[in-house]
Chains A and B, each alone.
Chain A
Amino acid sequence: MLSRTADHLFWMARYTERAENTARMLDVHVQSALLPQGAEAMQLGWRGLLGISELTAAYTERFGAIDADKVLDFMVCDTGNPSSIQSCLRAARENARAVRGAITTEVWETVNQTWLESQRLLSKGLCGRDPAQFFEWVKYRSHLSRGVTSGTMLQDEAYHFLRIGTFLERADNTARLLDVKFHALQSDFHGSAGSNGRLQEHDFYHWSGVLRSVSGFEVYRKVYRDVITPERVAGLLILRPDMPRSLTACMMAVNHHLQAVANPQSRETLRRAGMLNAQLQFGRLDDIMATGLHAYLTQFLERISDLGLGISQDFLAA
Chain B
Amino acid sequence: MRFYDEMTPAEGGVRPHYAQYAQWLAQQPPDTIRAKREEAEVIFRRVGITFAVYGDEAGTERLIPFDLIPRIIPAAEWKQLEAGLKQRVTALNRFIHDVYHDQDILKAGIVPTEQVFGNAQFRPEMMGIDLPHHVYAQIAGIDIVRAENAQGEGEYFVLEDNLRVPSGVSYMLENRRMMMRLFPELFARHSIAPVAHYPDLLLEKLRAVAPSSASEPTVVVLTPGMYNSAYFEHAFLAQQMGVELVEGQDLFVKDDFVYMRTTQGPQRVDVIYRRIDDDFLDPKVFRADSAIGCAGLMRAYRAGNVNLANAIGTGVADDKSIYPYVPDMIAFYLGEKALLNNVPTRMCREPDSLAYVLEHLPELVVKEVHGAGGYGMLIGPAATRAEIAAFAEKIKAHPHHYIAQPTLALSTCPTYVESGIAPRHLDLRPFVLSGKTVSIVPGGLTRVALAEGSLVVNSSQGGGTKDTWVLEK
Contact = CB atoms under 8 A, between A and B. Distances in A.
A99 B245 CA distance: 8
At the interface, is chain A mostly helix, strand, loop or mixed?
helix
A101 B262 contact: no
B263 interface: yes
Contacts of B265: 263-264, 318
A241 B236 CA distance: 40
B38 to A, nearest CB: 14
B206 interface: no
B260 interface: yes
B264 A112 contact: no
A3 interface: yes
Contacts of A261: 263
Contact of B260 (A2, A98, A109, A264): A2
B251 to A, nearest CB: 10
Interface in A67-122: 90, 94, 97-102, 105, 108-109, 112-113, 116
A100 B263 contact: no
A261 B231 CA distance: 28
Contacts of A90: 59
Contacts of B48: 97, 100, 108-109, 112
Given A6-B263, A112-B47, A157-B263, 18 more contacts: A1-B244, A2-B244, A3-B261, A4-B247, A5-B244, A5-B245, A94-B226, A97-B226, A100-B48, A100-B236, A100-B239, A102-B245, A108-B48, A112-B48, A116-B45, A263-B263, A263-B264, A316-B263
Contacts of A101: 221, 235, 238-239, 243-245
Contacts of A46: none
B398 interface: no
B46 interface: yes
Contact of B46 (A2, A100, A113, A315): A113
B261 A4 contact: yes
A1 B262 contact: yes
Contacts of B260: 2
Contacts of B221: 101
Interface residues of A, number: 28
Interface in B252-311: 260-265
Given A101-B238, A101-B245, A116-B45, A318 B226 contact: no
A46 B272 CA distance: 53
Contacts of A315: 263
A157 B265 CA distance: 13
Interface in B26-53: 45-48
B316 interface: no
Interface of B: 45-48, 59, 221, 226, 231, 235-236, 238-239, 243-247, 249-250, 260-265
Contacts of B261: 2-4, 318
Nearest to B48: A112
Given A3-B250, A97-B226, A100-B239, A318 B262 contact: yes
A316 B261 CA distance: 9
Contacts of A3: 250, 261-263
B263 A98 contact: no
Interface in A263-307: 263-264
Interface of A: 1-6, 90, 94, 97-102, 105, 108-109, 112-113, 116, 157, 161, 261, 263-264, 315-316, 318
Contact of A109 (B47, B236, B244, B249): B47
Contacts of B236: 100
A5 B47 CA distance: 20
Contacts of B246: 2
A3 B259 CA distance: 12
B235 A2 contact: no
A263 B246 CA distance: 21
Nearest to B247: A4
Contacts of B235: 97, 100-101
Contacts of B226: 94, 97-98
A116 B244 CA distance: 26
Nearest to B235: A100
B230 to A, nearest CB: 13
A179 to B, nearest CB: 32
A102 B260 CA distance: 15
Nearest to A158: B263
Contacts of A99: 245
A145 to B, nearest CB: 14
Contacts of A113: 46
18 contacts: A1-B262, A2-B250, A2-B261, A4-B261, A6-B263, A90-B59, A97-B235, A98-B226, A101-B238, A101-B239, A102-B245, A105-B47, A109-B47, A112-B47, A112-B48, A161-B263, A261-B263, A263-B265
B156 to A, nearest CB: 35
B263 A1 contact: yes
Contacts of A112: 46-48
Q: Which of B45, B249, B250, B262 is the most central at the interface, judged by chain A CB atoms within 10 Å of its CB?
A: B262
Nearest to B220: A2
Contacts of B231: 97
Nearest to A4: B250
A161 B263 CA distance: 10
B239 A2 contact: no
Nearest to A104: B239
A130 B274 CA distance: 49
A259 B206 CA distance: 35
Nearest to B243: A101
Q: Which of B59, B231, B263 is the most central at the interface, judged by chain A CB atoms within 10 Å of its CB?
A: B263
Contact of A2 (B45, B47, B59, B262): B262
B294 to A, nearest CB: 14
Nearest to B241: A101
Nearest to B240: A101
B263 A109 contact: no
